[in-house]
Structure 1
Amino acid sequence: MDGWVGAWTGGRAAVHIGNVADFNAQFTAPGVDTAQRDRRLRQAHHYACLAVGYSPEPALLVLPAEVDRAWTDWLARELEWGPVEVHDGVAADRTVAAAIAERPALAARIADSGHPVVRWGRTAADGNGPELAAVRRYESKAAAHELFTALAPGHPGITVPVQERPDGRRRAARRLTLRAARGLTTVLKSPHGVGGYGTVVVEPADVFAAGGAGALLRRLVRSEIMPPQGPLLLEEYVDPGPAARLRDLTYDALVGPDGTVHPVGAAAMEVAGTRYQGATTGPGTVPRAAAETARDFALAVGERLAAEGYRGWYDVDFVTDRRRRLAPTEINLRLTGPAVAFMLRERLDRVRGPGHLVRTLDAMPLGARLGPEALYDHLDRLRPRCARLGVTLLPLIPTAARDPQPFVGLALAGPDAEALDAAQALLAAANHALTGMFEALR
């Protein structure tokens, strides 16, 4: 099979290993206490449910959290999968690699499955070769910025924000104060972070309201927005202007086993502040000129990654400026939330015909905590209402519905953005209405 699907799994059903926590643990900043580590582990294990979408068709799933079979049965019906073997609840309080190491029968089952194996990202458990060295280098927003700066002159339409690397946090606070005094908004970054952790937009008013940049940094650490130790990067804020149609976009690609770079596509991301919420991909989602600019630059990034030994999925994230130029902000050398949207779109286009738009919604709030049966009953009532809009409802993250702040991850597939917007609004209203379940108890 040609193209990215062939390079990824050869077009075959695959073993999907949800090792999100393992990947993230490689970049945990020093000084993070046990309580925060535990919270981040639980969050990563919820996000690992996206393992259902690590390729267009799973044959075997390894998931850290326990899931109900109603979930995979729902997806298998809609996506016309064959039988899916599920090994869940393997790593409630540890990484997946550690759990598999303690389960020789599971390790043997994976090795002897006869299917290609795909993971969220590469870790030392997969071997310490050039691939892992490239991951650890370019997952850094400082190293990625260096690469962007080197490549940008050959790519019209690309602008690279200025980045400062102060020596120590005190100097970073002084530079942040000086920038605020000049009326400049700053993107404050830790070199490593996922899903928005370790990145925050700091406006001058934020610095003054906190009583200075030092006090602001301490507040951001207490709020678990920034890590407690380690270097900080100060990056120029890219202003999109008041009428920006597209603010955040990403371009996904992969480096095949032979080092060939394969384009996948562009997606429009939904970002609240700096926190990633989901993405939409499909015909017309990203304007053609922006998609082509992003594609050319992302493929150039991929060629450099391939030359340094990287093999696997990656993306480049961008923001747009007032002149509609694209400013690259980071490289993710792993699967991502948007990658799942591409996998689902590929599968739906194959089994139902081309032309789908797919939108992932990673953390839709729920108005009440729900057990598995109640969650699926709730979603099942919404399924026909979405279908009347021409939209297919796909549950992706069901395990967080009983959290103190419950949410569910979903995907929507439909013919156009208007249908997806309508279905999303319907779901948001229905989720919020769950608060009424407890009104009679007041």
Structure 2
Amino acid sequence: MSDTIDLVVPNIAEFNLRHPRLTLDPATVDSFQLFGRAMADQSVFWSRERRVQVLPTTVDMQWFADVHEAMGLRSPPLICPTFRSGRIIEDMLDDAAAMAALRRHLADHKRVQFVSWGATEDLYRLAAAVRGFGHEVLLDVPAENQYWTSLYLDSKASCLDLANQIPGVRVAPGVTVDSWHELRGILEMMRANGDTAIVRGFYGTAGEGSAVVQPEPGALDEFWRVLRDDPLLRMFPLLVQKYLPHHHDFGNPAVDMLIADDGIADLVLSIMTVDIHRFVSVNIGAGLLPSAIADEITDISRQVAAAARRLGFRGWFGIDFLADERGDIHVTEFNARRTGGTQWIPLLDSWQPARDAVAHAQHAIPVPASAPPNLGYPDLRPAFQRLRHQGFLALPVATRLLSHRKRSYGFVTLGADAATAESYADTVRDAIESSLTSSAGFDGSLT
């Protein structure tokens, strides 16, 4: 038996739907599962070790081969359990052929290192099954008896709790409300004071479950309309905070940490771009922030990690920050899981082991309205292949979104610094849009 093999399981939908207080309608559950299915393909970037990859069915195998070839890796064994529930681990456990394939691919290895999005009950069930195969299991999440720490730290309440316990941690002023009367009352008071509010559900993700309420006339009526379409904002309690405009020189800082038994095994800074409150893109790597701000958020992150570790949490943990217009740093939320930045760390390490470069990722770029119907990865491939043959580091991601009702796609690219990476991203978008909307296609020029 060789030593260790990774088992990559993108349990994104399960994570987003896991909290026992979530009672969502079937349409909302379907939308979360569809999103998780689309984002699952990005898990091919989570590990560069010997591994077995689990993905939802209908993977584009040309895309799968292309991205591994571009990374200089052999494509790993791939298991796609039969679609039943839309939750990949539940489908895996219910698929005898998939479990037999998993057992076969793991057979020559003593230890199995799980590589997941975050802790879910089904993840522990799968781990138990793998132990039953005779393997030692290494988790990248808290031990099962510490699962509660993941649930707690991923809620919006934990951020407020730890801010009261750790000196120097700022959060935006706000209140927790538990009824419609309280919600209306605090919003009317804040608007009367000329303040913009952000209303947040305790279990939202990627901007879902939050809304900004401006003080202008008609804004409150618009908020009630938004609330009708967002079930995560119809679940009390809700957090209502003063909305703080961010510093104009950069976006929203974030830190991703791997919390281990003996401390922090890894810590990486990133900058998120958000549209009011929704995630748009991320830069991860070197030189993204002024050194004083980078030092401050790193120090805060280490203190938060120590508190989380004392509770029993282990695994990837993200902290979102905001630098206000004066440059003061505020913590906005915790994510007890991988994030939109974490997943690019192995890719950054493979491109630039010293991490002296910047990876830039955009996850959901709208497809031009003039693009033809029934798009798929084959429609993007020529542009990416031409860019790659010129030595241009850009990889397609989230290609399943091309077939969604709101069609989009994503990519990740690399530059010597943030400005270079973002300029390359502009080139990639121009290449893709030209390829999708012009019969002549992109001419391959990067000038």
Q: What TM-score bracket applies, with the shorter chain setting the length?
A: 0.7 to 0.9
Alignment of 1:75-114 (within 5 A): 75-88=67-80, 90-91=82-83, 93-110=85-102, 112=106, 114=109
| Contact 2:63/2:377 (<8 A) preserved | no
* Residues in 1 aligned to 2:57 and 2:201: alpha-carbon distance in whole angstroms: 29
When normalised by structure 2's length, the TM-score is 0.85
CA contact (8 A) 1:253 1:265 kept: yes
Provide the residue aligned with 2:366 in structure 1.
365
Q: Residue 37 of structure 1 aligns to a residue in which SS?
A: helix
1:164 is aligned to 175
Distance in 2 (CA, whole Å) between partners of 1:331 and 1:228 is: 21
CA contact (8 A) 2:271 2:283 kept: yes
Contact persistence 1:365–1:432 (CA under 8 A): no
Partner of 1:126: 123
**TM-score (norm: length of structure 1):** 0.85
Q: Which residue of 1 aligns with 2:397?
A: 396
Q: CA deviation at 1:422?
A: 2.0
Asked if the contact 1:141–1:330 (Cα under 8 Å) also holds between the matched residues in 2, the reply is yes
Aligned to 1:342: 345
The question of 1:221 aligning with 2:227 is answered yes
Kindly indicate whether residue 305 of structure 2 is the aligned counterpart of residue 330 of structure 1.
no
Alpha-carbon separation, structure 1, partners of 2:387 and 2:428? 7
**What SS does the aligned partner of 1:142 have?**
helix
Corresponding residue for residue 411 of structure 1:
412
Instruction: Among all aligned residue pairs of Structure 1 and Structure 2, give the percentage whose two residues are the same amino acid.
Output: 22
SS in 2 for 1:400: helix
Go from structure 1 to structure 2 and tell me whether the alpha carbon gap of 1:179 and 1:21 turns closer, same or farther (over 3 Å shift): same
CA distance in 2, matches of 1:92, 1:381: 38
Give the equivalent residue in structure 2 for 1:429.
430
Instruction: Go from structure 1 to structure 2 and tell me whether the alpha carbon gap of 1:65 and 1:174 turns closer, same or farther (over 3 Å shift).
Output: farther
Secondary structure at 2:206 match in 1: coil
Show the counterpart of 1:255: 259
The answer on whether the counterparts of 1:26 and 1:123 sit within 8 Å (CA) in structure 2 is yes
* Pairing 1:233–2:239 present: yes
Report the CA distance between 1:280 and its aligned residue: 0.8
Deviation at 1:108, TM superposition (A): 4.9
Structure with greater strand percent: 2
Amino acid corresponding to residue 32 of structure 1 in structure 2 = L
Sort the Cα spacing of 1:30 and 1:345 in 2 relative to 1 into closer, same or farther, 3 A: closer
Q: Which runs of 4+ in 1 moved over 6 A?
A: none
Q: Are residues 58 and 294 of structure 1, via their aligned partners in 2, closer, same or farther at CA, if it must alter by over 3 Å? A: farther
Work out the CA distance in 2 between the residues paired with 1:378 and 1:223: 37
Alignment partners' CA distance in 2, 1:38 and 1:362: 20
One-letter amino acid of the counterpart of residue 63, structure 1: L
The AA in structure 2 aligned to 1:355 is D
Output the CA distance in 2 between the equivalents of 1:345 and 1:328.
26
Give the C-alpha shift of residue 217 in structure 1. 4.3
Q: Which runs of 5+ in 2 are unaligned?
A: 125-142, 441-447
Deviation by residue 1:313-347 (Cα, 9 ceiling, x = unmatched): 11111010122121001111111110012221112
How many residues align structurally? 411
Q: Distance in 1 between matches of 2:234 and 2:186?
A: 18
Structure with more contact order per residue of length (Cα contacts < 8 Å, sep ≥ 6):
1
- What is the alpha-carbon distance in structure 2 between the residues aligned to residue 279 and residue 146 of structure 1? 27
Q: How does 1:190-229 map to 2 (within 5 A)?
A: 190-205=201-216, 208-210=217-219, 213=220, 215-224=221-230, 226-229=232-235
2:114 aligned with 1:117: yes
Which residue of the partner structure matches residue 278 of structure 2?
275
Structure 1 unmatched runs, 5+: 1-10
User: CA 1:126 to 1:408, structure 2 compared with 1: closer, same or farther past 3 Å?
Assistant: same
Report the Cα distance in structure 2 between the residues aligned to 1:237 and 1:66, rounded to whole angstroms. 41
Q: Contact 2:319/2:335 (CA < 8 Å) preserved in 1?
A: yes
- For the residues of structure 2 that align with 1:57 and 1:70, how far apart are their CA atoms? 21
Distance (whole Å) between structure 2 residues aligned to residue 416 and residue 384 of structure 1:
22
Structure-2 separation of matches of 1:27 and 1:438: 48
Confirm or deny: 8 A CA contact 1:279 1:338 kept in the other structure.
yes
